[in-house]
Amino acid sequence: MKLDETKISSECIYSGKILSLYRDEVLLPDGKKSFRECVRHNDGAAVLLVKDGKVLLVRQFRYLYGREIYEIPAGKSDDGENPDCSALRELKEETGYIAKKLTPLCKIYSSPGFTDETIHIYLAEQFEEGISRPDEGEFLNVEFIPLEKVLEMIERGEICDSKTVAAVYKYVILNK
């Protein structure tokens, strides 16, 4: 069965700082018309760094969930920036760590029903400590948490961030 949808027209609802929202009219496979609500967002990059069996995490307040959550260091790519460069940059900005060797772990589509965001996830295999310089308006705490505890926190729903869950699970599979 042919599943393609074709764009008929696109209306920009909002163009903001970190995202844009479009409402596109599309032609469906059965010849009918419909609309797709599209949140366009630059791709992101994230880094899993494990040191002495402990995972490097940033704890920050996420306004959309109204609470502090744990995530691996990550951020969105600047326009035209390669994901591995974004990963190195975000790791250094948020935690001070400088990765000497990054290996791709996996990439994820955050939520393909409404956004085009792709997050490229890397493992930092060689690294050294440095000084963090978070962006203005970015407030976070950097913590190392033992891998076993991170897995328990995922199990209990205390760590839920999709990139963090994917990265930690992949790491466990690679090291079993």
Distance CA 101, CA 119 (A): 18
Q: Provide Rg for the chain, Cα atoms.
A: 18
94 binds its own copies (CB under 8 A): no
Residue 38 in contact with its own copies, rule: CB under 8 A:
yes
Tell the smallest beta-carbon distance from residue 26 to its own copies (Å).
6
138 belongs to the catalytic site: no
Site for its own copies in 64-93 (CB under 8 A): 64-65, 68-69, 71, 76
Q: Which residues contact 141 (CB under 8 A, 6 or more apart)?
A: 58, 59, 60
Instruction: Name which of residues 18 to 37 contact its own copies (CB under 8 A).
Output: 18-19, 21, 23-24, 26, 28-30, 32, 34-37
Stretch that binds its own copies, among 1-9, 48-56, 77-85, 94-102 (CB under 8 A): 1-9
Query: Which helix (H) or strand (E) element contains residue 170?
Result: helix 162-174
Site membership for its own copies, residue 1 (CB under 8 A):
yes
In 28-117, the DSSP E strands lie at: 33-40, 44-51, 54-62, 67-71, 74-76, 98-109
| 119 CB-side CA count, 13 A | 24
Q: Tell me, residue by residue from 104 to 143, as one string, x for binding to its own copies by CB under 8 A and - for no binding.
A: --xxxxxxxxxxxxxx-----------------x-xxx--
